[in-house]
Structure 1
Amino acid sequence: MMYIGLDLGTSSLKAILIDDAQQVLAEHAVPLTVQRPADGWSEQDPQSWCDAAVKALGALAAAQDCSGVTGIGLSGHMHGATLIGKDDAPLRPCMLWNDTRSHAQAAAMDAKARFRDITGNIVFPGFTAPKVEWVRENEPEIFGRIAKVLLPKDYLRLFLTGEHVSEMSDAAGTAWLNTGARDWSDELLADCNLTRDQMPSLVEGSAPSGRLRADLATLLGLPRAVVAGGAGDNAAAAIGAGVVEDGTAFLSLGTSGVLFAATNGYRPDPETAVHSFCHAVPRTWHQMGVILAATDALEWLARLTGQTAADLTRDLGAVEAPGRTLFLPYLGGERTPHNDAAIRGQFLHLDHATDARAAARAVLQGVSYAFADCNRALAATGTRIESALATGGGARSEHWLSMLASTLGFPLEVPQAGDFGAALGAARLGQMAATGAGIEIAGKPLIARTVQPDAGLRAALADGHERYRAAYDLLRGIA
């Protein structure tokens, strides 16, 4: 038997085909674009996800005989507000996870104690609920036509199966889920002028949610495979990385940055701005610190300098004690630990000697300090990370990994195949749904290398981190 994993990312949709031994038989990626019509806005056309899925699945079928596919798993970027009418068509472009226009609505919700009490989380501007409230206040004619609110991967599921279904890990990022009870909160929905009927039904990520539509199966040359509940992108990456047992962790250097720790119980602490969400498998939760610009910050510098990110980082050499130049990577606000949608990035202590190379070092170090802030916030909840798997596109930079390990003070393990971590996790969930297998199939990947902290740099990096934190306090005061 074979299984497909689809990972709907911000910049591309990735698809992989694996066998029972979880060996990758074929893979394909289709690029996607983001529209930013105003400052703080970030949108995508949901139809582009469907078109990309058809291309990716068709490419898998062209590369490999897929007649043995029995399970498909879905992963996707979280928090997006995909609003659909009675005909299942989108009413407007999807407002993405990094869309912060609804900061006022988020603050108003967060001021009501019941939101933190029930969800276990701050209501961040990037979450789904404040986005829908923004639509209610600014686009009332659209709000009045909402039949269902779907998360991005769940709109893709609707296209693939015809079913309105979500699962616990993604739903936990809406600000409408009772995270401890793993169910929608009627109280919070009513507070937002919505009802349970406008929400998708819920299944666990490893459970079936439907089957591939007959017409699509015929078009693509695929069987009518079971489609699993799946997971939000970070929970799926954790399944792909084997981060399921209590105390295991990963660090993701993608467009955004995530420091993720699996937990065997529900341990919310909203004051830290740490996310406490359901995991993709039953009776399991996770915590994570999230920064909004990781590799995105480096790509910004690349555009500014007219170089590529690879050019900027190619010859940085060994990690050194940080210089005076500081970079605060808050290009579109920040989540953990600041919960500040209005804050923006800054370079500090520039001089005539600051060139593109020095700026690149400062950007990498600034993102590393933002991860260190996340680590402090996780520690404040009682979660201690001893080591973490390193995933995402930024993990290809040995310099950055070494800087991160030394800044955070724990080793980073680099999997042999990290680029398709969330897609692998989705495929594993598809395997669980199709076969009834448990988390025992979500083993840790083979490790290519381990990047150890440089103890000789710890004092200098800790001092730099304190200067970074002081710069944030100053920036917040000015703002």
Structure 2
Amino acid sequence: METHSCVNNFGVMDEAHYVGVDVGTSSVRAGLVKRGGHMLAIHTVPITVANPATDFYEQDSEEIWAAVCQAIKVVTSGLSDKSVIRGIGFDATCSLVVLDHDFRPVTISPHTGKVNFNIIMWMDHRAKEQAAFINSQQHKVLKYVGGKVSLEMQSPKLLWLKGHMEDTWNRAAYFLDLPDYLTLKASGSLSRSLCSVVCKWTYQCDGSTQGWDHSFFKSIGLEDLARDNWKKIGQKVVAPGTSCGVLTAAAAEQMGLVRTTQVATSIIDAHAGGLGLVATQATTSDDFVGRLALICGTSTCHMCVSKDPIFCQGVWGPYLSAMVPGCWLNEAGQSASGSLVDHIIKTHPAANKCTTGKSVYQWLEELLAVMAKEEKLSDPTLLTRDFHLYPDFHGNRSPIADPTMKGMISGLTLDASDRNLALLYLAAIQALAYGTRQIIEQLTSSGHNITSLLMCGGLSKSPIFSQTHADALGMKVLIPQAQAPVLLGASILAAAASGDYPDVTTAALAMADTAPSCLPHQELTRYHDHKYQVFKKMQADQEAYCQLMLNE
């Protein structure tokens, strides 16, 4: 298995250390963090994403676990005394893992037939019809997911499996979110994270009652999951950062760690990033409120917390204690962001013209600066005056919550040059910023007061991406200096589970990063206001086109 190099910065090794593990869409990262939040080392191992058919995305849980152990071994290799590692925390994508009675993989792949492909990924869209059916039932649990369950969540995927892969359904003994699979492998515990089951499985937790809603599962034809006190999907649900126990003998050997290492209850990857972000430069938990955290990866997740529950149409939540203990979480998002930008670049005829040794993103951004200078424009932003892109190439997660939405481009010509690619790249970034603006409008109209943005992930490393968001939203953007808030979030859970901090909030405040500010350029406000109106008009036009064709 190919690995990426380890970046380390080992200092004095006489304090408590923690390991954070982040399983993203296409790679596993492990980070070694010193008490106080200083990231000492990061190591990355790629993992396979299978795409055997349109809308089908699958993975192998055993490959992922091997990558996890490898990443941890490398990232901790500079420690002579592994007993200083007090805890380990996991985050992962909200993907569905299927295991049999002996905890072995059960295939979910009707196209490949490969047994080890036992994970339906978060980005898998095979369950469109099942999601539509569930939403047609209008059950009361849907009020906690913005009124509509997403086909990226687990109940539509479970319903798809039951209807399309009968043998898999009958053989399956356990259905787990990927973060919970990791804690199972590490500690042997079958407990589930409140974060995973509340956010993706319709588990109910409203401050007074907690549990599975039998009437919901009965209404959609999945009442058999209630057998044996919900054994297949979770009997014990605990908050992120709660100890699951210590490492099993097998896990300790595979990771090269000592058995006394505490294993923290896991969290979804975006939520780990949200935890790491909202605590940035905070002095109390009150500072967490009013911040919108953008975790920018293959997709982008938009996370904000409130002291009281706020229901927002088209936005998931509110979820109690799913990210910050005692706070209600709302989660919006864009189904394709990093993947959108990559798709636009890779499918353009000029993509191979980047031969400078720089990254293609740096090359394009430098080209945009040259183009703006040649056209005597004050800012490259103004290059897209007659070039517009609507970004829902993989459906709309928020606030429309419509997986059938498509991408749109206005301003195409016969130009296939590198300059045309640069314009497409810039238009895509601007469109993502306008999508975030629409999400903020929805949050604000429901009762949130968003005062600043915090970003992490691949796209946030682009100066144009962060500045465009600041300009288009008229809002301060903060980007933590360490650029690893997701790993930091997982490490915060590890620190809480170790007992070194009394709770997750205390650990987050103690380990939080600092961040420079990116301030908006007021002279571009009017331009972005007009572009945003075009964005909303393109969205409305597409919906009108669909209605016209329904009447055909």
Q: What TM-score do you get using the length of structure 2 for normalisation?
A: 0.82
| Residues 237 and 144 of structure 1: CA distance in aligned 2, closer, same or farther (over 3 Å) | same
Distance 1:332-1:448 versus aligned 2 partners, 3 A rule: same
- Name the SS for the 1:343 alignment partner: coil
Decide whether the 8 Å contact of 1:289 with 1:378 is kept in 2. no
The reply to whether residue 260 of structure 1 matches residue 303 of structure 2 is: yes
Q: 2:267 aligns with which of 209, 231, 240?
A: 231
Aligned counterparts, 1:7-26, within 5 A: 7-26=22-41
Structure 2 CA distance for partners of 1:76 and 1:434, relative to 1, 3 Å? same
Q: 1:352, CA displacement in angstroms?
A: 4.2
Q: Per-residue CA shift, 1:61-92, capped at 9, x if unaligned?
A: 323232211211111112x2212111111212
Matches within 5 A, 1:39-438: 39-65=54-80, 66-78=82-94, 80-92=95-107, 93-117=118-142, 119-121=144-146, 122-180=148-206, 181-191=209-219, 192-193=222-223, 194-195=225-226, 196-200=230-234, 201-224=236-259, 225-243=261-279, 245-269=288-312, 271-278=313-320, 279-305=322-348, 306-307=351-352, 308-317=360-369, 318-321=379-382, 322-352=384-414, 355-418=420-483, 420-435=484-499, 436-438=501-503
Following superposition, the deviation at residue 406 of structure 1 comes to 1.1
> Aligned equivalents of 2:457 and 2:194: distance in 1?
23
Distance 1:319 1:440 in 2: 43
- 8 Å Cα contact 1:391-1:415 kept in structure 2: yes
CA distance in 2 between partners of 1:406 and 1:448 (Å): 18
Matched to 2:506, the amino acid is E
Shift of 1:477: 2.9
Q: Is the CA contact (8 Å cut-off) linking 2:32 and 2:42 kept in structure 1? A: yes
Look up the equivalent residue of 1:422 and give its one-letter code.
Answer: V
Change (3 A) 1:324 1:115: farther
2:270 alignment partner AA? N
Task: Return closer, same or farther for 1:177/1:469 CA change in 2, 3 Å cut-off.
Answer: same
Letter in 1 for 2:487: A
Which moved further from structure 2: 20-29 or 388-397?
A: 20-29
Counterpart position of 2:4: none
Contact 1:208 1:434 in 2 (8 A): yes
Aligned-residue identity in percent: 22
- Structure 1 pair 208–343 and aligned structure 2 pair: CA distance change class (3 A): same
**Structure 2: distance between partners of 1:88 and 1:50:** 13
What is the SS of the residue equivalent to 2:295?
strand
Per the alignment, in what secondary structure is the counterpart of residue 444 of structure 2? Answer: helix
Three-state SS of the structure 2 residue aligned to 1:336 is coil
Q: Which amino acid aligns with 2:492?
A: R
Equivalent residues of 2:145, 2:315 under 8 A apart: no
Structure 2 vs 1, CA of residues 5 and 290 (structure 1 numbering), >3 Å: closer, same or farther?
A: same
Matched letter for residue 265 of structure 1: D
Any conservation in 2 of the 1:264–1:284 contact (CA below 8 Å)?
yes
Q: Which residue type is aligned with residue 462 of structure 1? A: D
Deviates further, 305-314 or 335-344: 305-314
| 303-312 or 51-60: bigger deviation | 303-312
In the aligned structure 1, how far is the partner of 2:324 from the partner of 2:296? Answer: 24
Bigger drift between 371-380 and 126-135 goes to: 371-380
Task: Give the Cα separation in 2 of the matches to 1:7 and 1:182.
Answer: 28
Please say if residues 390 and 415 of structure 1, whose CA atoms lie closer than 8 Å, have aligned partners that are also in contact.
Answer: yes
- The CA deviation string for residues 333-363 of structure 1, in whole angstroms up to 9 with x for no partner, is 1210121112221222212457111111111
CA contact (8 A) 2:18 2:88 kept: yes
Question: 1:463 is aligned with what amino acid?
Answer: H
Instruction: Name the residue aligned to 1:460.
Output: 527
| Matched letter for residue 297 of structure 2 | G
Contact 2:396–2:405, Cα closer than 8 Å, also in 1: yes
Asked whether the equivalents of residues 143 and 311 of structure 2 are also in contact (C-alpha less than 8 Å), the reply is no
Please tell me whether the aligned partners of residues 193 and 237 of structure 2 are also in contact (alpha carbons under 8 angstroms).
yes
Q: Is the 8 A contact 1:73 1:426 kept in 2?
A: yes
Check 1:372–1:242 CA distance in 2 against 1; reply closer, same or farther (3 A cut): closer
Structure 1 residue 427, shift from structure 2 partner: 0.8
The verdict on how the C-alpha distance between 1:282 and 1:450 changes in structure 2, with shifts beyond 3 A counting, is closer
Return closer, same or farther for 1:310/1:152 CA change in 2, 3 Å cut-off.
farther
SS in 2 for 1:234: helix
Note closer, same or farther for the CA distance 1:44–1:219 as it changes in structure 2 (3 Å cut). Answer: closer
Q: Secondary structure at the match of 2:368?
A: coil
For structure 2, the 5+ residue unaligned runs are 1-15, 108-117, 280-284, 353-359, 370-378, 547-552
- The separation in 1 between residues aligned to 2:42 and 2:210, in whole angstroms, is 33
Superposed CA RMSD in Å reads 2.0
Q: What amino acid maps onto 2:233 in structure 1?
A: M
Q: Contact 1:49/1:156 (CA < 8 Å) preserved in 2?
A: no
Native 8 Å contact 1:165 1:203 kept in 2? yes
Distance 1:445 1:22, change over 3 A: closer
CA contact (8 A) 1:50 1:156 kept: yes
Alignment CA distance shift 1:219-1:255 (3 Å): closer
The SS at the match of 1:173 is helix
- Whole-angstrom CA distance in 2 between matches of 1:384 and 1:326: 29
Determine the structure 2 residue equivalent to 1:6.
21
CA deviations 1:230-265 (Å, max 9, x no partner) are 211122112222446322331222211122112223
Matches of 1:315 and 1:260, distance apart in 2: 33
* Structure 1 stretches of at least 4 aligned residues deviating more than 6 Å after TM superposition: none
Deviations 1:109-151 (A, max 9, x none): 1122324456444201111110110111111221122211100
In 1, are the aligned partners of 2:100 and 2:106 still within 8 Å (CA)? yes
Which ranges of structure 1 fall in alignment gaps of 5 or more residues? none
- 1:203-253 deviation per Cα after TM superposition (whole angstroms, max 9, x unaligned): 110211132111221343312211111211122112222446322331222
> Distance in 2 between the 1:120 and 1:253 partners?
21
Which stretch of structure 1 is more off in the superposition, 246-255 or 230-239? Answer: 246-255
Residues 156-208 of structure 1, C-alpha deviation per residue, up to 9 Å, x if partnerless? Answer: 22221222122112212324211424533333334423121211321110211
TM-score, with length taken from structure 1: 0.94
Are 2:539 and 1:472 aligned? yes
| 1:33 alignment partner AA | T
CA contact (8 A) 1:120 1:179 kept: no
Kindly tell me: are residues 95 and 261 of structure 1, through their superposed partners in 2, closer, same or farther at Cα, counting changes over 3 Å?
Answer: same
Query: Given residue 179 of structure 2, which amino acid in structure 1 is its aligned partner?
Result: K
Match in the other structure for 2:516:
449
Q: Is the 8 A contact 1:412 1:452 kept in 2?
A: yes
Q: Which residue type is aligned with residue 396 of structure 2?
A: E
8 Å Cα contact 1:259/1:375 also seen in 2: no
Do the aligned residues in 1 keep the contact of 2:315 with 2:331 (CA within 8 Å)? no
